[in-house]
Chain A
């Protein structure tokens, strides 16, 4: 029983996702009064009515107490987690014991991250975001919500089954020679050719990478591109997986499997069990989906869920249309979040995908908008803190600084096809106001600031969210060019294809470690500075037996590993960087440490203690480790600090000293490629 709801402060539903069970539960509670049809409004209305008292109470508490609900737990262990971002209240519910409070909070943050990647700086204006998330047109709304729902489901599936999404770090395929060849190929052949083609319509390929399922085979960034953050890369992998889901479990069509996973939302779409919601949502996204088996089984509850979303057959968009994604860019003059890029996801074979990220010609506008937004946000903050309006504007150079820039910017916009009259008016109004003073001046100026921000976000929205390029001049790499890129890589990897698909499932295996580390059952090693992880594969499908055996035992070990990660995160949140646990027949270890560039182990430092309801520890939605590194580096000026984590699972009968020796060996060996016979 799961649900995720985004609501405005007026208790208007901005997005909702429910699994069939929760859907049924709502229907049951509302069944009697809503017998006359299960159309979209009915379900949306009932979910909104059911949650309205909580939402309103939440807002009241913030207004009057300055504090608000973060979670509820009921006696039958249903968990409700609430979090407010600006004016959007997120509520995540779990009633089947599969997710804890931390998981739900993480889900909320990931949902927010995906919305940011999708809508960029529009998320900075709650008015615009509200409109964006809840389009007036019901058809459009249904389509958007379905897309977001399927993204969320893809994420949940990955978090539950993929170790790299468990620890939120990217996993590379371990095959040094092939990886090197591929990177070279991407650099010398692919990207170069694309960027020198006239068919690129002003776009410039910045990053290109090849994914085998969720693992990275090769990643290339062009010289003038900024680094792609781990957070963004993970989000892009989710999007790619959402478009071209790799049915990892597909090759074992075990009927029991289907039975056991039916009803649980995220899993249902990867196992061949049909969740019509998922299929439809994907129909717009994935042209290759046809190749996957389609079952005709339709659960009545699921049917209802589908009906309620009022699906209309929308013709799938042109597959060559790129996705607009907003990613962080770090340049010499600062960090620019949510800069527009185009994402081309080109399927090579089922399970293997080429992803191209391009810079769009108008992206400079986004940078200007961000600079202006930042300036107004700072001013507003200062005004809110009670500084005199005149002092606030005079005392800080930014407004004066940007004054002429903004004038120019607006002038330039006037010449383009972007509607900027309102921005112009508000800006004129602001400039007039700044000179004045008197009672109520601060309040007026704050309102003016807000207005400016909204207008700037509006311009940004026009530039990057609305398909401005008309049919005759589509702003994208031409379909022909895309096709060429696809063929080139296909040719290159043709001989490797099957190997890669197998390799990605058994990237490294425990077998190679058994001799050196008797008693070691599993480990995960993460380099937090680069956002990469290594772990033996944990495939627990019926047919692919791993070293752990198959069936319940492997499942048990897997659940232990998943638990261990969430447990150690809880301790890390409270400032504990070393944890060892004797749990049942197992012995678990967790270590976090810092090194400098030369591999010298730095002294363990103070790790900040965070409140229970702080942002989840990880790298996908909120980069905890980046903050941790910054915090730790304060005492290590001028040194490049790296951060590593190691988790191990041993048999409990192994003496502790031996276990610790194992850990030490693993820690020193794993990240030294030269001395890496194990990989």
Chain B
């Protein structure tokens, strides 16, 4: 188990997904249940040992307590556990990492998977284990990539350093996003620059999910331009799955709220009238090109557009809101098709490629997929497209009658179990301008709505180019010498972290600060009434304070740390709150 004890500061030491339903009988081997194990190079018998023991003990405990296990501690490791629907996830970290953070990481990972793949059970029915293993690996490496120890503690969004950037640029980014939202098919968006958030309209959790796709496509070679695309190769899209509460959050965003009150009276009027693109050039022909799903008597817009589904949702008979209503179109044909002709089954790479199919993929599949320039690639592309269409169709059948939507508390995201709740398929649209990416969550049929797409594309293109040029010219801002103090400021609402440590490689001097911060953060998380704390060890005195919206940690260097530990009001440790208030003002942190 050497790899269980890796000294490096990787956030996660082990991760696995184990499917208990595959190991039922006496003769079934543990390995059959292992869906994914990280690190992948772990010898199989070690994988089996860990999966078998942890899942077994976990199940035993959960039976005794009639509740799934959440945390499992060993002497040298701690595991966040999730047990759901015969699936058993475990994510192991070093014991130094706060327990809350480990649990958060596992939730993030599972939610990421569900965001891009839909329900786990279904994904494993539709896709090969290898394909999905690659995805787990991808998500895992994304979550671990390039983050400092502080970021491990807070699991925050990576944002651009706003102190270095002209605020007008941020305003501009926000305006681009608002402009895109004029198209009613666009739910919300965010703008990213080199893997960091510039502006977002989505919740931090959702933004984090969206960023994974951005970062993976960013590292891929730019695709050759599709011939017909007036958008260049810069535009791509993929199907994503939202939880009901995420969708509701998007719908309740101020922009949309305003919009939905407008549109409710019009809900039966033709769609083009709901267009509110006043400033963008509205091409009336665009609505004609809207696809009409032949299998669906209802227009997909009617079911899926947020403002309409909300109103129709409540009118549904609850008895119809079974988790599995008969889908408008059976899933079987594409599935069995794939099963019966394994030779036609796309290789994992091809499937992945096609999964992130470019816009206008049907135009010329051959040229689109890298080096796969034969006709079969084209058919696979369309085949995949077909599958996702089916999923979409099915999803649209579920949405209106979904019962979970009615009662979810607003902040239930962390406790939402995507494996149980039906997920609503949406589309993630990406427009890349060099290092800059505009990511929009759009209604699925946005893709086939050429006019809307062109509208969004062209309206934002110039602004994006301009923004990119400006951001590129911003110097990264040299990390100045470590000042006489260290601080970390975590915005709980936006999940952003500001610190004069960021960008610095982890070193010995800030180790005491990071340790204290980790302890205090856990304490804050577990004690609602705790407002501020000063803790002192031989090496450092750290002050922590929090409000509903933020957590701030501060350590002063220098000064005499020599003290007897006896209470003394002249002790420098107790002047930390005052110093923090004073010093942090210039970082835009107001503790008054």
- A contacts, CB < 8 Å to B: 25, 29, 50-51, 53-54, 57-58, 60-61, 64-76, 78, 80, 93, 95, 567, 570-571, 574-584, 589, 591-594, 601-607, 611-613, 646, 656-657, 660-661, 663-664, 666-667
- A–B Cβ pairs within 8 angstroms, 13 of them: A58-B57, A60-B49, A67-B1, A71-B72, A72-B57, A74-B69, A76-B65, A574-B515, A601-B566, A603-B564, A605-B538, A657-B574, A664-B566
* Contact status A76-B538, CB under 8 Å: no
* Contact status A592-B532, CB under 8 Å: no
* Contact status A54-B61, CB under 8 Å: yes
Given the interface contacts A74-B69, A603-B563, does A53 sit within 8 Å of B535 by beta carbon?
no
* Contact status B61-A583, CB under 8 Å: no
* Contact status B565-A661, CB under 8 Å: no
Check B592 for interface membership: any CB of A closer than 8 A: no
Query: Please, which residue of chain B has its CB at the minimum distance from the CB of A646?
Result: B567
Given the interface contacts A601-B564, A657-B569, does A576 sit within 8 Å of B536 by beta carbon?
yes
* Contact status A75-B53, CB under 8 Å: no
Residues of B within 8 A of A575 (CB): 537-538
* Contact status A54-B60, CB under 8 Å: yes
Given the interface contacts A50-B64, A71-B71, A581-B533, does A592 sit within 8 Å of B565 by beta carbon?
yes
* Contact status A65-B515, CB under 8 Å: no
Partner of A571, one of B71, B535, B539: B535
Check B530 for interface membership: any CB of A closer than 8 A: yes
Residues of B within 8 A of A567 (CB): 523, 527
* Contact status A579-B534, CB under 8 Å: yes
Check B56 for interface membership: any CB of A closer than 8 A: yes
Query: Please, which residue of chain A has its CB at the minimum distance from the CB of B75?
Result: A67
Check B404 for interface membership: any CB of A closer than 8 A: no
Residues of A within 8 A of B523 (CB): 567, 570
Given the interface contacts A581-B532, A602-B564, A660-B568, does A607 sit within 8 Å of B57 by beta carbon?
no
Q: How far is the CB of A291 from chain B (nearest CB, A)?
A: 41
* Contact status A61-B53, CB under 8 Å: yes
Partner of A664, one of B49, B57, B68, B567: B567
Query: Please, which residue of chain A has its CB at the minimum distance from the CB of B516?
Result: A576
Query: Please, which residue of chain B has its CB at the minimum distance from the CB of A574?
Result: B519
Given the interface contacts A69-B57, A70-B73, A75-B70, does A667 sit within 8 Å of B566 by beta carbon?
yes
* Contact status B62-A74, CB under 8 Å: yes
Residues of A within 8 A of B315 (CB): none
Q: How far is the CA of A75 from the CA of B65 in the complex (A)?
A: 9
- B residues 532-557 near A (Cβ < 8 Å) are 532-539, 541
* Contact status A57-B53, CB under 8 Å: yes
Check B458 for interface membership: any CB of A closer than 8 A: no
* Contact status A603-B562, CB under 8 Å: yes
* Contact status B565-A582, CB under 8 Å: no
* Contact status A75-B67, CB under 8 Å: yes
Q: How far is the CA of A591 from the CA of B563 in the complex (A)?
A: 12
Check B287 for interface membership: any CB of A closer than 8 A: no
Q: How far is the CB of B303 from chain A (nearest CB, A)?
A: 34
* Contact status A607-B64, CB under 8 Å: no
Residues of B within 8 A of A664 (CB): 566-569
Q: How far is the CB of B153 from chain A (nearest CB, A)?
A: 14
Residues of B within 8 A of A589 (CB): 567
Q: How far is the CB of B22 from chain A (nearest CB, A)?
A: 19
Residues of B within 8 A of A29 (CB): 63-64
Q: Residues of B within 8 Å of A, CB-based: how many? A: 57
Given the interface contacts A579-B535, A581-B533, does A656 sit within 8 Å of B574 by beta carbon?
yes
Contacts A53-B59, A577-B565, A612-B95 known; list 7 others, CB within 8 Å: A68-B74, A74-B61, A78-B67, A575-B538, A583-B527, A611-B75, A660-B567
Check B375 for interface membership: any CB of A closer than 8 A: no
Residues of A within 8 A of B577 (CB): 656
Check B4 for interface membership: any CB of A closer than 8 A: yes
Check B341 for interface membership: any CB of A closer than 8 A: no
Residues of A within 8 A of B539 (CB): 606
Partner of B56, one of A53, A65, A613: A53
* Contact status B57-A53, CB under 8 Å: yes
For the complex of A and B, the 10 pairs showing the least CB-CB separation, nearest first, are A663-B567, A604-B565, A660-B569, A601-B564, A593-B565, A76-B67, A78-B65, A584-B529, A578-B536, A53-B60
Residues of B within 8 A of A601 (CB): 564-566
Partner of A65, one of B1, B534, B562, B564: B1
Q: How far is the CA of A580 from the CA of B568 in the complex (A)?
A: 12
* Contact status B75-A70, CB under 8 Å: yes
Query: Please, which residue of chain A has its CB at the minimum distance from the CB of B571?
Result: A660
Q: How far is the CA of A660 from the CA of B69 in the complex (A)?
A: 43
Q: How far is the CA of A612 from the CA of B71 in the complex (A)?
A: 14
Q: How far is the CB of A50 from chain B (nearest CB, A)?
A: 6
Residues of B within 8 A of A67 (CB): 1, 4, 74-77
Check B164 for interface membership: any CB of A closer than 8 A: no
Check B531 for interface membership: any CB of A closer than 8 A: yes
Given the interface contacts A65-B1, A66-B1, A582-B532, does A577 sit within 8 Å of B537 by beta carbon?
yes
* Contact status A72-B71, CB under 8 Å: yes
Check B398 for interface membership: any CB of A closer than 8 A: no
Q: How far is the CA of A487 from the CA of B519 in the complex (A)?
A: 56
Q: How far is the CB of B446 from chain A (nearest CB, A)?
A: 38
* Contact status A74-B4, CB under 8 Å: no
Query: Please, which residue of chain B has its CB at the minimum distance from the CB of A661?
Result: B569
Check B180 for interface membership: any CB of A closer than 8 A: no
- B contacts, CB < 8 Å to A: 1, 4, 49-50, 53, 56-77, 95, 515-516, 519, 523, 527, 529-539, 541, 562-569, 571, 573-574, 577
Q: How far is the CB of B349 from chain A (nearest CB, A)?
A: 36
* Contact status B73-A57, CB under 8 Å: no
Q: How far is the CA of A28 from the CA of B544 in the complex (A)?
A: 47
* Contact status A594-B565, CB under 8 Å: yes
Q: How far is the CA of A259 from the CA of B494 in the complex (A)?
A: 47
Q: How far is the CA of A582 from the CA of B49 in the complex (A)?
A: 46
Q: How far is the CA of A592 from the CA of B536 in the complex (A)?
A: 11
Given the interface contacts A57-B56, A68-B74, does A580 sit within 8 Å of B533 by beta carbon?
yes
* Contact status B61-A80, CB under 8 Å: yes
Q: How far is the CA of A111 from the CA of B99 in the complex (A)?
A: 28
Given the interface contacts A50-B64, A54-B61, A583-B529, does A591 sit within 8 Å of B566 by beta carbon?
yes
Given the interface contacts A71-B71, A603-B562, A605-B538, does A660 sit within 8 Å of B574 by beta carbon?
yes
Query: Please, which residue of chain B has its CB at the minimum distance from the CB of A573?
Result: B519
Q: How far is the CA of A579 from the CA of B50 in the complex (A)?
A: 39
Residues of B within 8 A of A53 (CB): 56-57, 59-60
Q: How far is the CB of A415 from chain B (nearest CB, A)?
A: 48
Partner of B73, one of A51, A95, A612: A612
Q: How far is the CA of A93 from the CA of B76 in the complex (A)?
A: 21
Q: How far is the CA of A53 from the CA of B530 in the complex (A)?
A: 40
Query: Please, which residue of chain A has its CB at the minimum distance from the CB of B568?
Result: A664
Residues of A within 8 A of B565 (CB): 577-578, 591-594, 601, 604
Residues of A within 8 A of B75 (CB): 67-68, 70, 611, 613
Residues of A within 8 A of B61 (CB): 54, 72, 74, 78, 80
Q: How far is the CB of B83 from chain A (nearest CB, A)?
A: 9
Query: Please, which residue of chain B has its CB at the minimum distance from the CB of A575?
Result: B537
* Contact status A606-B538, CB under 8 Å: yes
Query: Please, which residue of chain B has its CB at the minimum distance from the CB of A600?
Result: B564
Q: How far is the CA of A29 from the CA of B62 in the complex (A)?
A: 13
Q: How far is the CB of B24 from chain A (nearest CB, A)?
A: 16
Residues of B within 8 A of A68 (CB): 74-75
Q: How far is the CB of B58 from chain A (nearest CB, A)?
A: 8
Residues of B within 8 A of A612 (CB): 73, 95
Q: How far is the CA of A667 from the CA of B569 in the complex (A)?
A: 13
Residues of B within 8 A of A50 (CB): 60, 63-64
Q: How far is the CA of A594 from the CA of B519 in the complex (A)?
A: 24
Residues of B within 8 A of A666 (CB): 567
Q: How far is the CB of A315 from chain B (nearest CB, A)?
A: 38
Residues of A within 8 A of B534 (CB): 578-580
Q: How far is the CA of A66 from the CA of B50 in the complex (A)?
A: 12
Query: Please, which residue of chain A has its CB at the minimum distance from the CB of B541?
Result: A578
Residues of B within 8 A of A95 (CB): 65
* Contact status A571-B530, CB under 8 Å: no
Given the interface contacts A74-B67, A575-B537, A611-B95, does A69 sit within 8 Å of B527 by beta carbon?
no
